[in-house]
Amino acid sequence: MMPVTQASDYAREVDSIYMFITYFGIFFYSIIIIALGYFIHKYRRRRKNEDTPDITHNTALEVIWTVIPSIPLVVMAFWGFNTYMQARVAPADSLEIKVIAKKWAWEFTYPNGMSFGQEMHVPAGRPVKLVMISQDVIHDFFLPDFRIKADIVPSRYTQLWFQADEPGEHQVYCAEYCGRDHSNMLAKVVVDTEEQYQQWLEQKAEEAMNMPLPELGKLLYVNKGCNTCHSIDGTRIQGPSFKGIWGQTHQFSNAQPAVVDENYIRESLLQPTAKVRAGYEAIMPSFQGLLREREIQALAEYVKSLK
């Protein structure tokens, strides 16, 4: 048995094929082991120059042992492909969530146009369709409990869909190697009941609109994945720390020195490579079109608050 939660009908179907192949494998592997063990024991060499019969071939036997095992293989091929097609075509009434993958964080955008961090909330019993794109290298959305996976490629949308049986929490991995923090590019799918999901969505949206700016900035710092590269305690990760930088004059490898203020933060978010901090690499992705005005202000306020 595959010792992984089966969170959908599709997962159960995939596991049925998995078990079919397992039984096929056990059957034929047993034949190999038994034949091997029996022959080694029964036909072991007893004396020097022992004679053996001149058996060279047996066409009928060879045809049989080629054709018979091939039949279950045909079953595997068709069953596997038919099931796979179910995972490719999302029902028309699916809830659509946009997924953006970047080194090394996820962003899930809901139909209301908002995104709330590394946990994807979905309602149980409703098909969910993911429309996914990468901002840099190839990533891969892997949801083992649902037996689904798809690469996320830059400049091209890829899709997945799933439908959860019941509320619960499921691990998401990035399954395509994407550099240093590949193994930290994790997320969760949280399955709620339909009402819980709606409540959660409304509550989050309200929180985001009414939240004081520094608090919203703090939330965005985590939700948008800033924290994977920028610390707030002065330690160096990929990028410079945010601690105490407000009002300082920074040196750049490709521009004149500048003071850290609202305009600098704004530019760093929208055109990150315009001014690259001396001693750091130009690896930050642009957030152009991904942040509202209020959110940019919030992030600037948050940086200002980090003394």
Partner 1 sequence: MAEVLTQRTPAAVHQPEGNFLTENPGLLNWMFTVDHKRIGLMYFWTIMTMFFVGGVLALALRTELLTPKTTIVSAEVYNQLFTLHGVIMTFLVLVPVIPATLGNFVLPMMLGAKDVAFPRLNLLSYYLYVFGALLAVGAIIGGGLDTGWTFYTPYSSTISGGVSIMTMGAFVLGFSSILTGVNFIATIHKLRAPGLSWYNMPLFVWGMYATAVIQVLATPVIGITMVLLLMERLFQVGIFDASLGGDPVLFQHFFWFYSHPVVYIMILPGMACISEVIPTFSHKPIFGYKAVAWSSVGIAVVSFFVWGHHMFVSGQSEFAGAIFSFLTFVVAIPSGVKVWNWLATMYRGSISLGAPMLYAIAFLLLFGIGGLTGLFLATVAVDVHLHDTYFIVAHFHYVMMGGTLIAFFAGLHYWWPKMYGRMYNEFWAAIGCLLVFLGFNGTFIPQFIVGSRGMPRRYYNYLDQFQFLHVASTIGSYVLGIGLVIMAATLIVPLFRKRYDAPNNPWGAASLEWTVSSPPPTHNFHHVPVVTHGPYDFKAARRLEQMESHS
Q: Which of 108, 110, 116, 142 binds partner 1 (CB under 8 A)?
A: 142
Q: Which of 7, 8, 14, 245 binds partner 1 (CB under 8 A)?
A: 14
Q: Which of 60, 61, 71, 92 binds partner 1 (CB under 8 A)?
A: 61
Q: How far is the CB of 129 from partner 1 (least distance, A)?
A: 15
- What's the half-sphere exposure (Cβ side, CA atoms, 13 Å) at 66? 6
93 touches partner 1 (CB under 8 A): no
Q: Are 214 and 302 in contact (CB under 8 A)?
A: yes
173 touches partner 1 (CB under 8 A): yes
Encode 197-223 in three state secondary structure: HHHHHHHHHHHHHHCCHHHHHHHHHHH
Q: Which of 95, 114, 131, 136 binds partner 1 (CB under 8 A)?
A: 136
Beta bridge partners of 115: 109
Q: How far is the CB of 37 from partner 1 (least distance, A)?
A: 10
Under DSSP, is residue 73 helix (H, G, I), strand (E, B) or coil? helix
Paired sense of beta strands 128-134 and 158-162, if any = antiparallel
Q: Which of 105, 175, 191, 269 binds partner 1 (CB under 8 A)?
A: 175
DSSP state, residue 275: S
Residues 239-278 within binding reach of partner 1 (CB under 8 A)? none
Return the amino acid letter for 189. V
85 touches partner 1 (CB under 8 A): yes
CB nearer to partner 1: pick between 58 and 271: 58
Residue with the two structure tokens 């930290």? 184
Residues 286-305 within binding reach of partner 1 (CB under 8 A)? none
**Both structure tokens of 148:** 């689904």
Burial environment of residue 238 by CB neighbours within 10 A (0 to 12, 13 to 18, 19 or more):
middle
23 touches partner 1 (CB under 8 A): no
* 217: Cβ contacts below 8 Å, ≥ 6 apart: 298, 299, 300, 301, 302, 303, 305
Cα-Cα end-to-end distance for the chain: 54
Segment interacting with partner 1 (CB under 8 A) among 179-187, 206-214, 260-268, 296-304 = 179-187
CB nearer to partner 1: pick between 173 and 200: 173
91 touches partner 1 (CB under 8 A): no
140 touches partner 1 (CB under 8 A): yes
Q: How far is the CB of 267 from partner 1 (least distance, A)?
A: 20
Q: How far is the CB of 187 from partner 1 (least distance, A)?
A: 13
CA-CA distance, 255 to 81, in Å (whole number)?
A: 55
187 touches partner 1 (CB under 8 A): no
237 touches partner 1 (CB under 8 A): no
Helix (H) / strand (E) containing 103:
none
Q: How far is the CB of 113 from partner 1 (least distance, A)?
A: 25
